[in-house]
Amino acid sequence: MLQCLASAAVQAEVRYFQVRINEPYIELHTGPGRGYPVFHVVDRGEVVEVIKRRTDWFMLRTAKGKEGWARRSAMVLTLTPEGEQTGFAEADFGDFSRRRWEAGVMAGDFEGADIITAYSGYMVTRNLSVELQLSQAFGNFSDALSGSINLLAQPFPEWRASPFFLLGTGAIYTDPNVTLVGEDDRLEQITNVGVGLRVYLTRRFIFRAEYQHHVILQDTDDNQEINEWKAGFAFFF
């Protein structure tokens, strides 16, 4: 009982930033995106709490306890309860240096084969992040599907063009396109090291380029080494 009362007291002490609606009305969506339906409308003059932000969407709570998501562009005229102008700015370079999540798509060359990579990463600290990469390579003689987990070190997170270093491991599945003697489908371990560059573009978008050197650990003593170059675009949140 005492723990429940203490928890309720802590929750009661939480105070969120409050704004007064100065637009004719604001539509609340069930989720942070235009594809989510509108379920409630907040009229001019009402005071709402700003619970959290996700990219250009804000979760609001009305005086009656209704919680929903509103676009940043719909809140540019909002005021503080005292009547002062609020500033819900677009994402900028400061948000880039403080980001937690990043996701993107890149394309390039995998030792002569075309490759497409999708990835998602989480910033553990300002200088270190963990990423999952999934790649598909399309060659003349074989295709390859690979997945890896990588540790990235970013020594200068405050730079607009920020270099990074990469170290990781994973697995690669090779599927020959033609019938060759001794060539079967293979699933092998792969290790990789690399360097790259993130360039902040605008709002929540990044240009990213990287080089990776892979070593495929084969059953025989003849390990295969592969060089990979790729570039693409990502967004952060």
Contact between 166 and 193 (Cβ < 8 Å): yes
Q: Is the pLDDT of residue 145 over 90?
A: yes
Residues 193 and 133 occupy one common structural domain = yes
What does the pLDDT look like over 104-114, one tens digit per residue?
A: 999 999 999 99
Q: Is the pLDDT of residue 7 over 60?
A: no
What does the pLDDT look like over 40-93, one tens digit per residue?
A: 999 988 988 989 887 778 899 998 899 999 988 888 777 676 766 666 655 666
Residues 47 and 144 occupy one common structural domain = no
Residues 226 and 157 occupy one common structural domain = yes
Answer with the residue of higher pLDDT: 9 or 123. Answer: 123
- DSSP alpha helices (H): ranges in the chain? 2-13, 93-97
Residues 59 and 145 occupy one common structural domain = no
* Element spanning 141, H or E: none
Q: Is the pLDDT of residue 12 over 50?
A: no
Q: Does any domain span residue 219?
A: yes
- Residue ending a domain, among 34, 68, 90, is 90
- Residue ending a domain, among 26, 60, 90, is 90
- Residue ending a domain, among 60, 90, 120, is 90
Residue 110: give the domain boundaries: 96-236
Residues 79 and 125 occupy one common structural domain = no
For the four alpha carbons of 71, 73, 78 and 80, in that order, the dihedral sign comes to positive
- Sequence-separated contacts (24+) of 109-112 with Cβ below 8 Å: 109/228, 109/229, 109/230, 110/135, 110/137, 110/139, 110/144, 110/226, 110/228, 111/226, 111/227, 111/228, 112/139, 112/140
Residues 65 and 106 occupy one common structural domain = no
Q: Does any domain span residue 156?
A: yes
Residues 81 and 169 occupy one common structural domain = no
Q: Which of 200, 192, 126 lies closest to 160 in space, CA to CA?
A: 200
Helix, strand or coil for residue 198? strand
Q: DSSP for 7-65?
A: HHHHHHH---EEEE--SSEEEEESSSSTTSPEEEEEETT-EEEEEEEETTEEEEE-TT-
What average pLDDT does the segment 183-204 reach? 89
Q: Is the pLDDT of residue 136 over 50?
A: yes
Q: Does any domain span residue 6?
A: no
Residues 187 and 172 occupy one common structural domain = yes
Residues 231 and 126 occupy one common structural domain = yes
Q: In this structure, what token pair is assigned to residue 107?
A: 């394309």
Q: Is the pLDDT of residue 10 over 50?
A: no
- Distance between start and end Cα atoms, the chain: 39
| Total domains, the chain | 2
Residues 102 and 82 occupy one common structural domain = no
CA 203 to chain CA centroid, Å, is 13
Residues 115 and 76 occupy one common structural domain = no
What's the rounded Cα separation, in Å, for the pair 37 and 121?
29
Q: Does any domain span residue 3?
A: no
Residues 23 and 77 occupy one common structural domain = yes
Task: Quote the pTM value.
Answer: 0.64
Per-residue CA distances from 156 to 144, 177, 195, 197, 226 (Å): 34, 43, 14, 11, 28
